[in-house]
Amino acid sequence: MPRTLTPFMSINVDQIRKDFPILERETANGRRVIYLDSTATSHKPLEVIDAMNDYYRRSNANIHRGVHTLAEEATALYENARERIARFINAASFREVVYTRNTTESINLVAYSWARANLKSGDLVILTEMEHHSNLVPWHMLQMERGIELEFIPVTDEGLLDLDAYKSLLGRNPKLVSFTHMSNVLGTINPAAEIIHLAHSAGALTLVDGAQSVPHLSVDVQALDADFYAFSAHKMCGPTGIGVLYGKSALLEGMPPFLGGGDMIKEVKLRSFRANTLPHKFEAGTPAIAEAVGFGAAVDYLTKVGMDDIAAHEHGITEYALERLEEVPGVKVFGPPAEKKGGVTAFTLAGVHPHDVAQILDQDGIAVRAGHHCAQPLHEKFGIPATSRASFYLYSTKEEVDLLIKGLYKVKEIFG
């Protein structure tokens, strides 16, 4: 039997679930949605939905352009959200918080702007074997274009980064170490501060893919000493269409603009332009204004609940889920034990394709993701094409884990 897990008491889940209207809905066959796919995207609380709704009802206008009441109000809302997001990750200044579309665009911004200005043929970029495609393909593209070299910190059988191998790679004078803070498949929480410290000692800069860490852990970019840090609003109770690239201001100052157009300039002549100050230099064109407002509401919401309490709650759920999954004959879980991971659990069920597992679970309203989760090389490393993945967030419950386990027994019954 599962042991008693105190972390479940860290937040009042019943109360929290009332904030998320979507958790009330039923699927076509009348089942309550059991949402175990927050790693793909999280649900949005009423505070976020209402903030965006209010923005369109009361304040809609373009920003940084008009002097009329609505334009000034919209600009203030957009910029005020940036300041709250900066505080949420403890950036030294709002100037270090660049709005992008998502984590993918944030990483591409570094690859296009910083890397194309600073890397030449033969320069080494260190990645890891557990990266999401968004932290692989931009570097593949640069490798093809520039002839940079790529090396990968290996993943151990337990699903951890091999730090001894990393230390050896650092002897090859890398220019950049770019790694995920938390794996979207294994759930592994990587020792980001140590990885960054080692990179700096070897003279390399660091870019952290925080798509899975910022939503689930308390992240302090200054304490980590990260040079660049990327994340998306939609995985942390905020809307789709907006993310952040955090960068140390000295680095961002020295980088050429990414996209050219309105708002990113100070002055334009027929044959030249002067770029705007930070962070606007990297924000060309009309941005996602309502989404920034929603993003601000999302960090307020997470702050109110408490990031440490959210992490403790997810830890409790994950520990319980791992124990219960182990009970199911034929289930193989990938990744380290609960103390080294966040609320993501990828698994296979012997003899059943992960897509079939997901489809049968869906008949009972249970939403898990199946596939390679945009981490194909990691799946190849483990010799499998795909996994099923259950992931948890602040609104996940122990009862939902029980329903997942019940669903897996049903899958086994169907497949004999």
Taking CB under 6 A as the criterion, the residue among 44, 82, 132, 281 binding ligand C6P is 132
Binding flag, residue 102, ligand C6P (CB under 6 A): yes
Identity at 333, one-letter amino acid code: V
Taking CB under 6 A as the criterion, the residue among 59, 180, 218, 348 binding ligand C6P is 180
The whole-angstrom distance between residue 11's C-alpha and the CA centroid of its chain comes to: 22
- Give the SS3 label for residue 231: strand
Taking CB under 6 A as the criterion, the residue among 38, 42, 59, 184 binding ligand C6P is 184
Q: Using the minimum distance from each CB to ligand C6P, give the nearer residue, 19 or 37.
A: 37
For ligand C6P, what does the binding mask look like between residues 209 and 238, x meaning CB under 6 A? Answer: x-xx-------------------x------
Distance separating alpha carbons of residues 158 and 56, to the nearest angstrom: 48
Distance separating alpha carbons of residues 236 and 238, to the nearest angstrom: 5
Contact 188, 345 (CB under 8 A): no
Binding flag, residue 103, ligand C6P (CB under 6 A): yes
Nearest alpha carbon to residue 321 among 302, 305, 341? 341
Q: Using the minimum distance from each CB to ligand C6P, give the nearer residue, 10 or 178.
A: 178
Q: Could you tell me the CA-to-CA distances from 287 to 64, 98, 299 in Å, in that order?
A: 11, 11, 19
Contact 213, 230 (CB under 8 A): no
Binding flag, residue 373, ligand C6P (CB under 6 A): yes
Owner of token pair 């995207």: 41
Cβ contacts of residue 348 below 8 Å, gap of 6+?
A: 331, 332, 334, 354, 384, 387, 388
Q: How many helices (H) and strands (E) does the chain have?
A: 15, 15
Binding flag, residue 100, ligand C6P (CB under 6 A): no
Distance separating alpha carbons of residues 73 and 63, to the nearest angstrom: 9
374 as an active site residue: the answer is yes
Distance separating alpha carbons of residues 41 and 179, to the nearest angstrom: 20
Q: Using the minimum distance from each CB to ligand C6P, give the nearer residue, 75 or 206.
A: 206
Least Å from the CB of residue 407 to ligand C6P? 20
Binding flag, residue 284, ligand C6P (CB under 6 A): no
Stretch of 50-58, 214-222, 367-375, 379-387 contacting ligand C6P, by CB under 6 A: 367-375
For ligand C6P, what does the binding mask look like between residues 23 and 62, x meaning CB under 6 A? Answer: ----------------xx----------------------
- Of 137, 150, 374, 384, the active-site residue reads 374
Residues labelled catalytic: 374
- Interacting residues toward ligand C6P by CB under 6 A: 39-40, 102-104, 132, 134, 180, 184, 209, 211-212, 232, 369, 373-374
